[in-house]
Structure formats: structure tokens, C-alpha cells
Structure 1
């Protein structure tokens, strides 16, 4: 089932590519803000947030090797590395981030449901902005939180990425803004 020879953090996934491109096209989204790249993998979105002027960036991935890779990629890009954390933030109390970036995190129904609840708490507690990058995987498209997503951008994927991702041709960026309970 796993189509890659490399570990997951070695791949620049389509959702992460879309988020990075969106930040590059819209640097004011993260300029001067505190940013969390959740499930950061290779750290590309965290690196782009730093490049676009984020005041504080945390790259979070439960695989400690992803933090090492993020530091290496930051150095290759001649940037001070972000703070790297391997804590499972999804099961913790929300921290006061202005912006949370999630690329390719909604690949599984159970994880999508857990993320949904945690993101709601982040938004309710800290008024956090949430951006999600995804190429349209079934667990993402079919989840009930999809009604609270607002499409921001769509990007064509390079041919090599299409081949590595079962022929997916584009990836989108969405803003997640849930309706508050009791309000329409």
C-alpha cells in the first residue's frame, strides 16, 4: 500500500506544497504572527512561514527525525531553523498560536475527527486561524468538518508529484472556520 521507498518526512507532500505556495503568494497571512506547522514532516511550510516573516514558528511532528530534517532544510535555505517539537500537540491543551498550518493531515477518518475537535478548541480558546492543504483525499472530502471549510486557492501539481500521488492533479488550500455552537 505504501507507494514510497522513503519515510513520510522525506516527501514534500501535495498539501504542504499548496500551503507553502499560498504563503509565498500571500505573505501577510503569517507576517509577524506565531505559526504552528502541525505534522510538519520535512518542514517546508514552517520554512516558508519564516521566509514570509512569521515572528515565531514551531514545526511539530511526532517523528523526531522530522525535526532533524526540518533543521537541515532550514540550513539549506539559509534560515534560522524553527523551534522543532515532537510532542503530540493534538492531545494537549491548545497553545496560543495565531496560525496553524496542516498539510496532508486528513488521510485517515480517525485522525480527521481528532484534529477536528482539537482545532475547534484552538479556535475557541485563542481565535487561531487554521489553513489546511490537501489534494482531495477521501477522508478529507467526506468528513463532516468539510462544511466549515472555505476554499482559498488551488494549485496544479508538478508531473512528478502527480505520478507519486496516484494521479492527483491539484492541491488546494482551505481556511477552517467552524460555526460556533448556538450561532448560525
Structure 2
């Protein structure tokens, strides 16, 4: 791969990491639901769905439980999943228990649903979490703020392209991830919000 293309692929992949989408989306939806107080709820959601999972993945990579922070091997993802799921489930329960705004609890519950679908598939096949989270986040944003936000769909495609160019995923793995994110994210969010 040409050097400039590789740099763009890494920038898109790192910028489109699931934690970045979640860290932006949770406070934004919190603000939309309840102003400044909602931002606080969104930040709590981001801690359990983005910050702690990232720390868990880095800890596991340092201890060599899996190959790196991206957890590229399918088998390693199965080993890493319980820690990440425990963090998201704890955050979801906490937000419901503390009566966080419905938009924030619906977001984390929808994310949990997408993660469960990805985990089931991961037992048999590797699927792109980057693509699932990007398309799921975009579908939720379009649901909340309007379909005009679908103009950002090329960003989801570019993130998928980066994952393929970096040889992290195949076209099929990226496409299935994007389909799961969009097909589960917005409907679950709408149902629960």
C-alpha cells in the first residue's frame, strides 16, 4: 500500500474507533435530552461504554491475553468480550437505576444489543466492530436529529475502507458489521427511547 494511503487508512481507522463515536454520541444525546445535566449522564455512559472498555482492552494487550488493543484475532475477541460486556452491562444497570434520561439509557441499551449480536457472530466469524458502531451511531444520530445527517454516510464507508486497507477485515466483515449496527442500533434506540 502506498505510504500516503496507509497514513489515511490509519487516521480513519483510529479516528473511527468505537470509543470515539461513543464518547461523542453519549454526551450529545444527553444534552439533547436534558441540557447540561444530560451531558453529565452522557459522560457517565461514556465511562462505562468507551473509557473502561478501552482500559480493559489495553490491560489485556499489555498482559498479552490478546494480540493488541485492536484485538484482531477472532478467538481473542471471545476472550476479551466478557470484560467489555461487564462494563457496558454495569453502566446500563447504573443508568437505569439512577433514572438517567431515556435517550441516554436507550443509547447504552441499543449498544449492548449490537454488542451481543456481534459477540454471537464472533463465535463463528470475525466481524467489524468499527463498522458496526459507526453505522449504528450514524443511524441513531439520524433518528434523533433528522435524516439529513445521512450525508455523513460516506464517513462510515471510509472507516470500512480503512479497515479493509489495513487488512483488519474483509469487505464482507465490514459490510456485515455496518448492516448489524444500522439494523439493530436505531430500531433498539427508538423502541427504548
TM-score of the two chains, using structure 1 as the length reference:
0.32
Higher strand share: 1
Q: TM-score by structure 2 length?
A: 0.31
